[in-house]
């Protein structure tokens, strides 16, 4: 199995978790959807600082940082970024400092959004916080990170920058090539056969990495990405490019064809980090039927897409929801969620 993934296991990797995340049946949601067999891959249980998909991605970024003898990690993301929170945790676990740049992607000024959830955890982890006023300027955010890195170098530090914009090695995507390999092993060790995988599609690293890994291992099931930041047309080009970059990084042929890239932006409006009725319903259903918490930004919208796909496919079909975490963001969105679900 490993040989089909090229250089994957030869690249620097900092092990941040030591166990496979489980695949769990979702019996009550299955009944709600008319008998489709629903399961969740619980990457929200990945262990580091309340978990999430970015743990897998950070293993490769931090592995390269260690190989370069870095002492400080720099990263940029939205105010309630799970990636930033986990980067700070990973840096601390490995004895490094962390600088986080928080971008104003969501037009929310309430104190809870700006101080609770992931932001509070960033502070508890001792990260140095910076603000970037633009919300949709990936290249500009990266340039500002590089400027901060230059300032740190001038003080004798050894910074490592985790870039946001395209055009850099997709090291984070390799974490989900690994996840594809892990899922394939879990399927082989059981009677699980999935017709479709449903995953959040934002930066593109998780979606592209999972799709690439599954296809490289000969698994042809549909992989549907639920758009959480940009339209399906915009996201298609991003996923296609990521897959080309992964192939180059691993030194193998790209197993992903254009018709492998499936996307839906049905649940995106009114935009990144903003709630809609379908997302609120998905948050409620996951919590009250399975005791599973999904967040307003990524996994809530993805759960809405997952349930729609389950109803469309119908009884007898098996679908796997990639639970990519995001639990702390629930508290960052406390004001909106309290309004939605009522006060005690």
Residue 285 to residues 6, 153, 281, 288, 292, Cα–Cα distance (Å): 41, 49, 6, 5, 9
**Judging by DSSP bridges, how do beta strands 23-25 and 37-42 pair with one another?**
antiparallel
Whether 276 contacts 270, CB under 8 Å:
yes
Task: For residue 81, indicate whether it is catalytic.
Answer: yes
Whether 86 contacts 55, CB under 8 Å:
yes
Whether 197 contacts 223, CB under 8 Å:
yes
Q: Which residues pair with 222 in a beta bridge?
A: 196
d(CA 127, CA 41): 30
Token pair of 123 as six digits: 């502070």
**Judging by DSSP bridges, how do beta strands 318-323 and 196-201 pair with one another?**
parallel
Sheet strand arrangement including 128-132? 128-132, 97-103, 72-78, 159-162
Token pair of 135 as six digits: 């919300």
Q: How many residues does the chain have?
A: 344
Catalytic entry in 81, 116, 201, 203: 81
Kindly compute the dihedral angle of the four CA atoms of residues 136, 230, 205, 241, in this order, to the nearest 10 degrees: -100
As annotated, the active-site residues are 81
């Amino acid at each position: 199995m490993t040989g089909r993934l090229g250089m994957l296991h030869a690249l620097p990797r900092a092990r941040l978790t030591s166990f496979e995340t489980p695949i769990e049946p979702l019996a009550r949601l299955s009944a709600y959807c008319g008998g489709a067999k629903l399961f969740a891959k619980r990457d929200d249980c990945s262990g580091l600082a309340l978990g999430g998909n970015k743990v897998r991605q950070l293993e490769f970024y931090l592995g390269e940082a260690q190989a370069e003898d870095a002492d400080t990690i720099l990263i940029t993301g939205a105010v309630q970024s799970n990636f930033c929170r986990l980067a700070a945790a990973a840096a601390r676990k490995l004895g490094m400092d962390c600088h986080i740049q928080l971008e104003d992607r969501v037009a929310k000024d309430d104190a809870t959004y700006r101080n609770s959830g992931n932001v509070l955890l960033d502070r508890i982890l001792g990260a140095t916080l910076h603000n970037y006023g633009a919300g949709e300027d990936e290249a500009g955010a990266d340039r500002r990170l590089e400027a901060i890195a230059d300032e740190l170098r001038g003080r004798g530090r050894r910074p490592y920058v985790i870039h946001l914009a395209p055009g850099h090695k997709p090291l984070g995507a390799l974490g989900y090539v690994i996840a594809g390999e892990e899922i394939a092993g879990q399927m082989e060790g059981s009677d699980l056969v999935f017709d479709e995988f449903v995953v959040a599609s934002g930066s593109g690293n998780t979606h592209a990495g999972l799709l690439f890994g599954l296809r490289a291992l000969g698994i042809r099931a549909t992989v549907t990405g639920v758009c959480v930041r940009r339209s399906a047309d915009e996201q298609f080009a991003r996923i296609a490019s990521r897959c080309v970059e992964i192939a180059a990084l691993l030194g193998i042929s790209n197993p992903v064809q254009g018709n492998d890239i499936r996307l839906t932006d049905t649940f995106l409006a009114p935009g990144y980090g903003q709630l809609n009725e379908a997302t609120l319903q998905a948050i409620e259903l996951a919590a009250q039927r399975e005791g599973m918490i999904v967040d307003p930004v990524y996994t809530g919208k993805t759960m809405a897409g997952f349930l729609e796909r389950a109803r469309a496919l119908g009884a007898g079909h098996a679908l796997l929801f990639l639970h990519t975490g995001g639990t702390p963001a629930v508290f960052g969105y406390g004001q909106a969620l309290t309004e939605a679900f009522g006060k005690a």
